[in-house]
Structure 1
Amino acid sequence: MSRRLVRAFSSLIERFREFRDNVALYLEVTRVSEIARRYFVMNSLDGALTMLGVSIGAFIGGHLDPHIVLSSGLSGAVAIGLSGVSGAFLTEYAERKRELKEMERSIAKSLKGTVLEKSSYFAVILSATVDALAPVMSSLIVLSPYVLATYGILSAHMAFIGSVILTLAFIWFLGFFLGKISKENPIAYGILMLIVGLITAFITYKLSTHIS
């Protein structure tokens, strides 16, 4: 029994190593990590700013019920995620398919079943996954104070303040991250993104006030 477990565990480790090596190879061949980073930042920002709009709209409209904000916010996050995964999948699939066909024409040989084809499919799946999860993740971070409010840990107004602070902090982090990968001043990038967030908050506030 113990030998069987050892063999099974060894086989599992071997498969994990093979999977890890394949992923590293696919990332190197397709350079999809650069695209995935862009999708992550863009869609995380979309999710965070959308939730900021939902939060401010509920506050100005006098409907700052944590349950309503959560249901509206999560519905919006899921919609952004589904839109992202379908859009990214179809776009990346079309682009990768075109690249493969151009390569096949240039070498007069089919690339079916090769590392290049597998790498392309991996790039499509990774891009779509990042595009889908990024807005959902950022939305959950921004909405987390309202989760505490539903359990009575925070008041609705404290949840609103906490959500706004978390949104601005997360947006600053995205800017800092962009500064790091671009090898520029990350603090300056963070401040720039924070300004974008503040402008968005101001516009949302003015629109919500006008509509109300």
Structure 2
Amino acid sequence: MPRDEFQQSLADLRSEVLAMSDLVADRLDRALTALETVDEATAQVVIGGDDEIDRRYLELESTCIQLLAQQQPVAGDLRFVAASFKILTDLERVGDLAVNLAQYTLEADRKRFAEVDLSAIGDLATALLDDAMTAYRTDDAALCHEVAARDDELDSLCQRASQRVVRDLIEREVADGDSWAVERLLDDVSRLLLTIRDLERVGDHAVNVAARSLYMIESDPTLV
């Protein structure tokens, strides 16, 4: 493959990775909206759309493998293809987390623990992912470091939300001595804690994207 054609293939790969990121971000946003508004129809759309994300992931994974195997890129081009390959995996997993959130919408009772601000946690998680993909798109090393730093804020929000849920469980229900009520509450507590955990994992994947982008830009994935 001539050099100009190869460079165009790399540009096309970046565009396709960004397009997949847009799709995943849309599904994550829909899942969060469904969870907040108890919109079961939107939740079903997110769940039903997971196959499209998986299909795009496999297609782009194949593209990366072909570029690595057939063209044997070196230096910066090699780092770019390798980073893109890894970023695709993070995006696919965020898509899976969006499906989890949609499924929680169908199962959880959001009237209970309504004071837990999932929207704030979700907004921060999606912002981190968006910034990480912006860093990938623009080769912005400084933004990679910013994403990693702001993930501490997301971790803190998730920790406080989890602690509040557990505290309320003890204060509001266990003291009543109604074993059946406690069992029902534990189901909702488990789902809510899983929701918080999955939002935290979105942030973790955003940090992964930032680290892989930093490796692509500076040949060093260390985010400090």
Give the shorter-chain TM-score range. 0.3 to 0.5
TM-score normalised according to structure 1 size = 0.37
- TM-score when scaled to structure 2? 0.36
Larger radius of gyration: 1
